[in-house]
Structure 1
């Protein structure tokens, strides 16, 4: 029931949605369900939207709130695996925030 976090580059040819292609740029596999647990226990709105059974796609425009919530969460988590997972996801979110053609896909099992 983990939530894998995937940075996806959106490649568009023209203005048609048919020309949209996705290319994986980076990822964090939530093998031990650590990030999923952090999201489930969070009281922050964007992290609460993460579904361990579904998908959530965040654009670079949504990264400022997501990054703020990850920063707050990293100060609250008590154990090293959770803090490490949050920091790895935060690094991916920072990359997504810096490049407008990137999306962050949060994929549940």
Structure 2
């Protein structure tokens, strides 16, 4: 049920989606122990976190650099719900990827569910 998070860079922009080429832009955050998935699931009953509610442990989600300010804001709101050192660590790593994604419109954040 883990949700891996990978920063991807669009290397060929074209008018057709068939011509999109992506390359990994850094090491991914692997959620081998479902830490991120459990943390995100805790937010699904909280109002005001629509971006985090879109994250599903069983589906993939692609977020663009334009969506990163909102995601970063919601990750900050999520921080008090992190209860263990592992949850704080994975949240910090994902915040770093989101901040990097925000800095470059060619970057995308790919969340890959099981």
Verify same fold: TM over 0.5. Answer: yes
Cα distance in 1 between the residues matched to 2:76 and 2:13: 35
Describe the superposition over 1:5-45 as per-residue Cα deviations: whole angstroms up to 9, x where unpaired: 01010122543333210111121001110000011111222
Number of residue-to-residue matches in the alignment? 109
TM-score, normalised relative to structure 1: 0.93
Q: Does 2:44 match 1:39?
A: no
Cα distance in 2 between the residues matched to 1:60 and 1:14: 18
1:85 to 78, 81, 90: 90
Cα distance in 2 between the residues matched to 1:21 and 1:105: 14
Report the secondary structure of 1:28's partner residue.
Answer: coil
Cα distance in 2 between the residues matched to 1:58 and 1:14: 18
Q: Does 2:20 match 1:15?
A: no
Q: 1:71 deviation in Å? A: 1.1
Cα distance in 2 between the residues matched to 1:3 and 1:87: 15
TM-score, normalised relative to structure 2: 0.89
Give the strand-richer structure, 1 or 2. Answer: 1
Q: 1:88 deviation in Å? A: 0.6
**What is residue 30 of structure 2 aligned with on the other side?**
29
Q: 1:74 deviation in Å? A: 1.4
On the 8 A contact 1:58/1:105 being kept in 2, the answer is yes
Q: CA RMSD in A?
A: 1.2
Cα distance in 2 between the residues matched to 1:82 and 1:9: 26
Structure 1, unmatched stretches of 5+, are none
Report the secondary structure of 2:4's partner residue.
Answer: strand
Matches within 5 A, 1:46-85: 46-85=51-90
